Amino acid sequence: MQAASRSSFQPAEAGAILAGTLGACAAAAGLVGWAAGNTGYGLLGGVCLGLPAGVFAVYRRFKGYFS
């Protein structure tokens, strides 16, 4: 039996996952902020929540590389 090959780390894919997750969180929170009456605070909250969510998404995608 052959050992499972280790996945390679692709910086462009990691950046796209990070940016996509950050953008999705910012957009969703911006909509919530818009509904509440202040879009700017909603976007700020989305970015603050989206950055750790994006880092977690990249970690989950490349967890075989980091261990």
pLDDT at 48: 97
pLDDT at 65: 82
Residue 53, domain member (yes or no): yes
CB neighbour list of residue 13: distance below 8 Å, 6 or more residues apart = 61
pTM of the model: 0.82
- H or E segment to which residue 17 belongs: helix 11-36
Residue 1, domain member (yes or no): no
| Angle (deg, nearest 10), helices 39-61 and 11-36 | 150
CA distance 57 to 36: 28
pLDDT at 3: 58
Residue 59, domain member (yes or no): yes
Residue 3, domain member (yes or no): no
**Which residues of the chain are modeled with pLDDT < 70?**
1-7, 66-67
| Residue pair 26/50 in contact by the 8 Å Cβ criterion | yes
Residue 6, domain member (yes or no): no
Name the residue range of residue 38's domain: 11-66
pLDDT at 67: 67
Residue 2, domain member (yes or no): no
pLDDT at 7: 63
| Residue pair 39/28 in contact by the 8 Å Cβ criterion | no
pLDDT at 1: 60
Question: What is the number of domains present in the chain?
Answer: 1
Residue 5, domain member (yes or no): no
Residue 20, domain member (yes or no): yes
